[in-house]
Structure 1
């Protein structure tokens, strides 16, 4: 009987080499050594390259080329997620990628591949966004929506859709857009085009024209926003105590309807207003009706300290985080909307006062999603031109927290949707968190290069 061969352990170096080969044959390895390079690698490998339809036990899951993975779930049940297809998150990722251009290569430590990859990602993202535009001849032509238009709204409602309507109760918006991967979504709750998505997409299209050779949009975007203001002509879904009667500020829904058809209740959200101000400034249209009123209201609520007590009360679509701070500071700095300076400075002060310190000396902010919160907080400080060591320490924290292999940070809730019956839907995307951190790192390195 022959003897069994003896087991000989492989040298550790050989084991390591085998693992590297196995990993790289199934998933593209991240070769970049810098935090910015690793973040770009993650975004490049996660962007949807071609339209996909995957059959799962719950039915088909659809996505479009140019999107990044994003999902929504009921608050408190993050394990049950719906894959979403929407341009809103993509506009913010596109915005972060606008920093990755040839003229910033030296300051950011970029390679030629980085610059090319970012351009390709931006171009794919713009093509994706265009799929959500209302076409010529539509009542809301030129506006963009959070979801695609659904031609099946007149079909008989399924039992699941009827039950969902009874459970959620509303809002009943009677629009024409629904999520592509949630068949039980009620037709009555389909949404119209909206000011938030329309504003952020048009800002992206302007960047597309400036750095990637796209055509300058010729739509009269100012009219889209001016048509939908809180003048008392449209009922409001809620009337918070910070909102003056007939305030004149911008409404969320661009609810164009046929003549004689009643309007559904609309709402006022101050993050939406900040994003509209940002885009109107980018297009040199701060003469638009509603701008002065929106600037005054944002400054007033910040002066009253309402962003400290319950920032989520300033609208229906953003949780208790730093989205309001970031959006106002971005409008002030990058629009620019000079009139928002009082709010931007007060918001930056509150950010400084709420900073936390790690045992290692790093600085972070945590309202439930420390990576996302810290990125938005440090961007708020930089947008307000604050000179504080908190920025340096926060950047150190973010770099230390990055996954060294894949280049990602943890996701967090950036925006929400509250139903009339109480359940709240929460949107998350790891790629979105990465984009905000990428934006913060790029802004920081560019400031350092300029000696600021």
Structure 2
């Protein structure tokens, strides 16, 4: 009889203990994530380059490794070199800016952001951005009639360009990817520092749409077959135009790229659109859409509807490995599409549902996600970070995201942290490639990029939990 009377008490007491320890565990996780964020941000601040050595490295950027992983016949033997580029410093700056805007008590980030933005502006020409800085060539670029003085060209800072040909291929024009990221950096800078810097108009992207063209990039022809899509093209520069284009002409000129007269051949001191033909990249389109949404220009852009259709159509094909020209990581598409959706591109809901389903089906038992084996040995940390970011963005827009999937991803990422000088960081993952022929062998990696991407995820996850509560 006494046992029966005690039973309701035991049930209530057990429920109290369960709720108490659940709340305690939740708070412990919150404190753990905050401590990870604090330590990782110390790493980001301490590894930012503070002084400039011309044509070697620049104040405001972070160390980046440009890595040719295997010998390639016209580039030469495999090599690694530190590289200065707009994409990396802009991406890190923007992720840090989002962290600051979620927690404006972090005033210690302001000098870091200002120094980074000053470097980003060095890539700017009339609100358009190039991947590389303009620098003196490292050699003569013509057999005859070399100009004196030599004009500046866009090129990597330290990577060895062993021939005139490969040096000329590095002189790429301004592009939609860097332009969207560089202008997004300006938007954040304006908000944080109450500045009034100009932003690129949507018209700058609409000038280069995949519509009624007289050329095609061989990679798009071979893997995508969705020409005349109306979506945004990568390079903000005129491509070679045939009188009557066909696939055979593209194939012949690409094979004869070393021969004078080939439409694919780079010319000294002239901007080189790779293979003479612009391309359409699904990730680049998502980045442009995100920028236009954040600057409230989306509806004014002629290309936005077709870009949204292109993304959804490519995602429906399921064979995503070659979907992006420049981004080989298996989950970078998920990362950028979800970010554009969360930025205000509501028409990407169906695409986001597709990537969400794919993520939930591909999580490993340990909580990780992985890319191909030849990309940074499965690139689990970067892949998991990209997937987690997409999950958080989808959740923020009201999609049904499994808390268990997110928690497992977070736990895996935490288990992979490294420690240096009492500061935590994560090993560098692959976030960009040379594209097309070099897509699987020429990579860009950065500990700072991966670390700030992780930190940004943790900060947004905490903000999401706080809003839910």
Range of TM-score over shorter length? 0.7 to 0.9
1:298 paired residue number:
311
- 1:209: Cα distance to partner? 0.7
Tell me if the contact between 1:73 and 1:426 (Cα under 8 Å) persists in the aligned partners.
yes
**Counterparts in 2 of 1:258 and 1:155: CA distance versus 1, 3 Å:** farther
What pairs with 1:418-437 in structure 2 (closer than 5 Å)? 418=435, 420=437, 424-437=441-454
- 1:123: Cα distance to partner? 1.1
RMSD: 2.9
1:366 paired residue number:
370
Aligned mate of 2:56, from 62, 85, 93:
62
Question: CA-to-partner distance for each residue in 1:299-342, whole Å, 9 max, x for gaps?
Answer: 112123233xx2xx1122011421111000000002x1001110
- 1:122: Cα distance to partner? 1.2
Tell me if the contact between 1:132 and 1:144 (Cα under 8 Å) persists in the aligned partners.
yes
Q: What SS does the aligned partner of 1:426 have? A: strand
2:229 paired residue number:
247
Partners in 2 of 1:73 and 1:132 — Cα distance?
22
Partners in 2 of 1:91 and 1:258 — Cα distance?
30
**Counterparts in 2 of 1:410 and 1:381: CA distance versus 1, 3 Å:** same
1:49 paired residue number:
50
Q: What SS does the aligned partner of 2:103 have? A: helix
What pairs with 1:140-179 in structure 2 (closer than 5 Å)? 141-150=126-135, 152=137, 155-157=140-142, 176-179=153-156
Q: Establish whether residue 37 from structure 1 lines up as the match of residue 38 from structure 2.
A: yes
Which stretch shifts more, 262-271 or 90-99? 262-271
Partners in 2 of 1:401 and 1:204 — Cα distance?
29
- 1:245: Cα distance to partner? 2.8
Tell me if the contact between 1:91 and 1:204 (Cα under 8 Å) persists in the aligned partners.
yes
1:5 paired residue number:
none
- 1:157: Cα distance to partner? 4.5
TM-score under structure 2 normalisation?
0.73
**Counterparts in 2 of 1:218 and 1:409: CA distance versus 1, 3 Å:** closer
Tell me if the contact between 2:43 and 2:425 (Cα under 8 Å) persists in the aligned partners.
yes
**Counterparts in 2 of 1:339 and 1:149: CA distance versus 1, 3 Å:** same
Aligned mate of 1:231, from 207, 211, 227:
211
- 1:101: Cα distance to partner? 2.9
- 1:420: Cα distance to partner? 4.7
- 1:450: Cα distance to partner? 1.8
Question: CA-to-partner distance for each residue in 1:261-306, whole Å, 9 max, x for gaps?
Answer: x973111111001101111111111121111101011111212323
Tell me if the contact between 1:295 and 1:340 (Cα under 8 Å) persists in the aligned partners.
yes
Q: Establish whether residue 182 from structure 1 lines up as the match of residue 166 from structure 2.
A: no
What pairs with 1:4-403 in structure 2 (closer than 5 Å)? 34-52=35-53, 62-76=56-70, 80-101=79-100, 104=103, 115-134=106-125, 141-150=126-135, 152=137, 155-157=140-142, 176-182=153-159, 184=161, 185-219=166-200, 221-238=201-218, 239-256=221-238, 264-286=276-298, 287-307=300-320, 310=321, 313-334=322-343, 336-358=344-366, 363-367=367-371, 368-385=378-395, 386-403=401-418
**Counterparts in 2 of 1:224 and 1:153: CA distance versus 1, 3 Å:** farther
Partners in 2 of 1:143 and 1:422 — Cα distance?
24
Partners in 2 of 1:131 and 1:207 — Cα distance?
17
Tell me if the contact between 1:153 and 1:176 (Cα under 8 Å) persists in the aligned partners.
no
Tell me if the contact between 1:378 and 1:440 (Cα under 8 Å) persists in the aligned partners.
yes
Tell me if the contact between 2:325 and 2:436 (Cα under 8 Å) persists in the aligned partners.
no
- 1:154: Cα distance to partner? 9.8
TM-score under structure 1 normalisation?
0.76
1:25 paired residue number:
none
- 1:99: Cα distance to partner? 3.4
Q: What SS does the aligned partner of 1:66 have? A: coil
- 1:153: Cα distance to partner? 9.0
**Counterparts in 2 of 1:218 and 1:90: CA distance versus 1, 3 Å:** closer
- 1:151: Cα distance to partner? 5.1
**Counterparts in 2 of 1:51 and 1:346: CA distance versus 1, 3 Å:** same
**Counterparts in 2 of 1:117 and 1:80: CA distance versus 1, 3 Å:** farther
Question: CA-to-partner distance for each residue in 1:174-215, whole Å, 9 max, x for gaps?
Answer: x94211223524224410011100011111111111122222
Tell me if the contact between 1:83 and 1:181 (Cα under 8 Å) persists in the aligned partners.
yes
- 1:104: Cα distance to partner? 2.4
**Counterparts in 2 of 1:234 and 1:65: CA distance versus 1, 3 Å:** farther
1:137 paired residue number:
none
What are structure 2's unaligned runs of at least 5 residues?
1-32, 72-76, 144-151, 242-262, 264-272, 372-377, 396-400
Tell me if the contact between 1:249 and 1:293 (Cα under 8 Å) persists in the aligned partners.
yes
Tell me if the contact between 2:417 and 2:425 (Cα under 8 Å) persists in the aligned partners.
yes
Partners in 2 of 1:91 and 1:200 — Cα distance?
6
Tell me if the contact between 2:176 and 2:284 (Cα under 8 Å) persists in the aligned partners.
yes
- 1:246: Cα distance to partner? 1.3
Q: Which has the higher helix share?
A: 2
What are structure 1's unaligned runs of at least 5 residues?
1-31, 54-60, 106-111, 135-140, 159-174
**Counterparts in 2 of 1:242 and 1:275: CA distance versus 1, 3 Å:** same
Partners in 2 of 1:176 and 1:249 — Cα distance?
29
